[in-house]
Amino acid sequence: MLTAIIDYESGNLHSAEKAFQKMAAEIGGIEVVVTDDPQTVARADHIVLPGDGAFPSCMNALRGSGVFDAVIEAVETRARPFLGICVGMQLMARIGHEYEDTPGLGWIDGEVHRITAPGLKIPHMGWNDLVIERPHPVLDGLQTGDHAYFVHSYQMQMTDPAQRLAHVEYGGDVTAIVSKDNMVGTQFHPEKSADKGLQMIANFLRWRP
């Protein structure tokens, strides 16, 4: 089994690579690679899309990368399990409104807007408590009140609430986890979220939608 972490020059991949490799070694029989090679993506069993930075630059970098078509084929046509992390999750939305209106991948029925949290600092940075709204195999072993680590100024506002699995409170509710079919996304960084984040990574690596 092969898990591909997509390298499109829009994120710090080191911590994600180490966390996924750690859990893959514990599970056994799973190889984790960071790649910008379309052939590697095409044969991957799981796809991970990290992302740090602004929505437009990340979306443009992904569309301009050599792996874009391979990712679309793997996720949309062959229904490979997909995990978007931070801006990687935001790119799953229909559109982002950071600096300029930018179409997203359109996989999740939502739009990305700046967080509105009067009296609170933006970006939303640090640990926050998850409020889990509905069960999902990737959330096995997690519960409301578990901590996750966030660093972001924009959030996905849902048009279809059924596609949201969890939120956190930060001047109002802020989308934390989304899901549809073979896709799941986390606004927080599971690779930086201690034991519960590692549990979620392990769940994803075992997930067979």
Q: Kindly list the catalytic residues.
A: 86, 189, 191
Classified as helix, coil or strand, 157 is strand
- Least Cα distance to 184 among 51, 92, 54 occurs for 92
Give the span between the Cα atoms of 110 and 162, in whole angstroms. 11
Which backbone phi and psi does 69 adopt, to 5 degrees? Answer: -65, -35
CB proximity list for 90: less than 8 A, separation 6 or greater:
51, 55, 58, 84, 96, 104, 112, 154, 156, 185, 187
207: left (phi over 0), alpha (psi -120 to 50) or beta: beta
- Kindly report the number of other CB atoms within 10 A of residue 35's CB atom: 17
